[in-house]
Structure 1
């Protein structure tokens, strides 16, 4: 009997940088992870602005569209609406092992930091914190105000991992996709999902010669 798929939640909010979230989704599906996906309405707007994708509005149709786009197995990708409170991610008894908010707006950061739980994304993040499971926040904002920094510190103290979208350049990126992959690789590392997008430091060809 094969082992069950790992279950990881991915939320995308209305910050710039939807390429990070979409690439992360692609990599999670390739890694045979069962993905619970949540998109805020602002995230859908930004996806239309920053990509050529035209996504349907209904969760079931969106799941079919993205499953076909990224080659997901039947049932591997589940999409939930913002107010779908019966979703597994809304309860500790059905929670996945980890969650990434990628990209994350400062508004979502604030709501999660104070436990607002006004949407399924916010509630799912709250569940991760209360269940002591991994929550990764890929914040996309600059400059950062004192409010943002305080909210980041508050969530860090609760156990969340703050991972601002700050790609590195030591791997000498040649394309925009290389910068996206840098961040996605770091998120995958923290999710303990095997990845080949970026070698560990010290394993780059020619390093140490």
Structure 2
């Protein structure tokens, strides 16, 4: 039996570390990762990381060209678990919301929605105006999950890496994929305040 496949989209929003870390985590899980990285993401990478584009693409099992609309990901007959866009820019969200797709990244998301598979958008923008909120509502009504990368402090993270990993762990939970050793809420744990 072949591995399950998961599409990872990286758009040009700030927070490229989420996409990079997600690819690294997936290397340790029984999942074949398919990367689609936008041109804007490549620019953001230069600002937010010392990694090169080739280094990020090498983290994926398969890397697809953003302009290759004929790629396997653009067909509903190509089976996947779904897709995570990490981070998801407002431009990417808006294209998905309208169904007017201009790249393999947004076409892949469109296919995921039409096939009723799981689409998780880690929207990275603040503050939000009404148009942003309407686009989020629209994709949510179409079946996508909006999962902004918001840190959870009850896990008492001691580093930025721990914050990122916890957020990604929660996103991967949506695909029934578990990060080993994730610090989860336990009602009997020491995380609860003394009464």
Please classify the TM superposition score into its range, dividing by the shorter chain length: over 0.9
Does the CA contact (< 8 Å) of 1:138 and 1:164 recur in 2? yes
**Equivalent residue for 1:148, pick from 117, 121, 132:** 132
Question: Does the CA-based 8 Å contact 1:62-1:79 persist in structure 2?
Answer: no
Residue 66 (1) aligns with residue 31 (2): no
RMSD between aligned alpha carbons? 1.8
Conserved in 2, the CA contact under 8 Å of 1:137 and 1:160? yes
Match of 2:84 in 1: 100
Shift of 1:47: 1.1
Are the structure 2 counterparts of residues 130 and 113 from structure 1 closer, same or farther at C-alpha, using a change threshold of 3 Å?
same
**Displacement of 1:206 after TM fit?**
2.1
Retained in 1: the 8 A contact 2:155–2:185? no
Taking structure 1 as the reference length, the TM-score comes to: 0.86
1:198 aligned residue (169, 174, 182) = 182
SS in 2 for 1:170: helix
In structure 2, what is the equivalent of residue 72 of structure 1?
none
Residue 169 of structure 2 is aligned with which of 177, 185, 192?
185
Look up the SS of the partner of 2:155 in the other structure.
coil
1:162, CA displacement in angstroms? 0.4
Shift, 1:205, TM fit: 4.5
Aligned partner (choices 107, 111, 121) of residue 123 of structure 1:
107
Q: Report how many residues are paired.
A: 193
Residues 1-209 of structure 1 correspond to what in structure 2 (within 5 A)?
3-56=1-54, 63=57, 65-66=58-59, 77-196=61-180, 198-202=182-186, 205-207=189-191
Deviations 1:10-65 (A, max 9, x none): 00000010111111111111102111100001101111111110223xxxx864x3
Structure 1 distance, partners of 2:130, 2:103, is: 25
Unaligned runs of 5+ in 2: none
Q: Deviations over 1:74-121 (max 9, x none)?
A: xxx110111112211101011412100000000100000000111001
> What CA distance in whole angstroms lies between the structure 2 residues aligned with 1:168 and 1:107?
26
Checking the alignment, whether the CA contact within 8 Å between 1:7 and 1:97 is kept in structure 2 is: yes
Runs of 4+ in 1 over 4 A off after TM superposition: none
Unmatched 5+ stretches in structure 1:
68-76
Distance 1:51 1:86 in 2: 30
